[in-house]
Amino acid sequence: MQNTQVRLINRPLGLPKATDFVVDTQPFQSLGVNEIRVQNRFVSIDPAMRSWMAGGKSYINPVPVGAVMRALGTGVVIESRNPNYSVGEHLYTNLGIQEYALLTEEHLTKPDYGNKPYRIDPNLAPLPTYLSALGLPGMTAYFGLLRVGQIQAGETVLISAAAGGVGSLAGQIAKRFGCRVIGVTSTEEKCRLVEQEFGFDACLSYKSPTWRDELAALCLDGIHVFFDNVGGDVLNGALPLMARRGRVVISGAVSQYNNMQFMRGPANYLTLISTRARMEGFVGIDYYDEFADARTEIAGWIREGSIRSDVHLVTGRVDTFVTLLGQLFGGQNTGKLVLEIE
């Protein structure tokens, strides 16, 4: 048998292009002692992938040039020489953009991108949910709000990229904890989705020429917590509106990922002095040891109907990845973008 893979062959300049990758087919390697082979079913398409392709210092080593593109995914064990894993088990881990993943003993025992292989039950939740609310997006929203943002009932919480995989979950979690939630998205259509489907109290499109004035009118008492996934102009627009002792949670900066050499930082960060606010970056995997408890809690919220896991599912071959990456950075998806591998 053979395995089709997508490999990174160039460090992209700007938006990743098809020429930055190569699709090739490799024959199956024989399994070594304590190794397993997983057939990939679903892979997560994430904004963070852009930073993984860059060569600079980050919270995780970059994808080496020539290596299979990193991606979290869910799959089923089809071969095993490891007594701890059985054929037929479903796993969630870094599987890469490929049809099959050979997981070595090192991969199985050491966290890779903060995720040891995690057994999942397709009878408890649809497999794509483990890449959304029960996966890293859910963990990022959960710990970003509760630990870093320290949200309290009655506070005003602003969420950027509110229709995305992390933002939509963050808004719902904040609502569940009794906060007033305002979203920022790219279009009026997404705003309607955010308000009607995810329960946000209000939503603004940053493409509106008056969005800053509209945001100020909605936040007369200030923004207590800003959960930012976008950076750039959206961050600049929110900083002057922070409440006293407000918290800016830096989850990501999707507006800047394709401009890594000339990123635009906050132009008015001195407002943090007058408001005594703080701005803190974090990575979801910082809380890896608590993921299991968080998954259990979020799964309960899903069952009771207070949280909805929204997945934008696309079915295709592994080479569909490059097109989906362009759609992600073009803001064409809502919810968590997931590729179902044919």
287-308 confidence digits (pLDDT tens)? 989 999 999 999 999 999 999 9
Three-state DSSP at 275 gives helix
pLDDT for residue 171 = 98
| pLDDT exceeds 80 at position 76 | yes
C-alpha span between 108 and 103 (Å, rounded): 7
Q: Do the first three CATH levels of 2-132+310-341 and 136-285 match, i.e. the same topology? A: no
C-alpha span between 338 and 43 (Å, rounded): 6
Dihedral pair phi/psi, residue 172, rounded to 5°: -65, -40
pLDDT for residue 265 = 73
pLDDT digits over 219-263, tens only? 999 999 999 999 999 999 999 999 999 999 999 988 776 666 666
pLDDT digits over 106-138, tens only? 989 876 665 678 899 998 899 999 999 999 999
Sign of the C-alpha dihedral computed for residues 58, 61, 65 and 71 taken in this order: negative
- Position with higher pLDDT, 211 vs 60: 211
Q: Strands, E, within the chain: which ranges? A: 2-8, 21-27, 36-44, 72-80, 90-94, 100-103, 118-120, 156-160, 180-185, 202-205, 223-228, 242-250, 278-281, 311-316, 336-341
pLDDT for residue 254 = 81
Q: pTM for the complete prediction? A: 0.92
**Percent of residues, the chain, with pLDDT higher than 90:** 82
pLDDT for residue 266 = 85
Q: Are 170 and 194 in contact (CB under 8 A)?
A: no
- Would residue 167 be called left, alpha or beta, if left means φ above 0 and alpha means ψ between -120 and 50 degrees? alpha
**Domain residue limits, the chain:** 2-132+310-341, 136-285
pLDDT for residue 17 = 92
C-alpha span between 285 and 280 (Å, rounded): 15
Structure tokens at 38: 């997983």
- What letter does residue 148 receive in the DSSP assignment? I
pLDDT for residue 333 = 85
What CATH architecture does domain 136-285 belong to?
Answer: 3-Layer(aba) Sandwich (3.40)
| pLDDT exceeds 90 at position 54 | no
Round the average pLDDT of the chain to a whole number and report it.
93
Determine the longest span between alpha carbons in the chain, in angstroms: 64
Pick the CATH number of 2-132+310-341 from 2.30.110.10, 2.60.120.380, 2.102.10.10, 3.90.180.10: 3.90.180.10
pLDDT for residue 121 = 92
Whole-number CA gyration radius for the chain: 20
Mean pLDDT of all residues in 64-78: 96
pLDDT digits over 22-47, tens only? 999 999 999 999 999 999 999 999 98
pLDDT for residue 44 = 96
CA terminus-to-terminus distance, the chain: 16
pLDDT for residue 268 = 86
CA distances from residue 6 to 27, 69, 92, 314, 327 in whole angstroms, order as listed: 14, 6, 19, 17, 17
- Position with higher pLDDT, 128 vs 58: 128
Count how many Cα atoms sit within 13 Å of the Cα of residue 333 in the half-sphere of its side chain: 26
pLDDT for residue 112 = 63
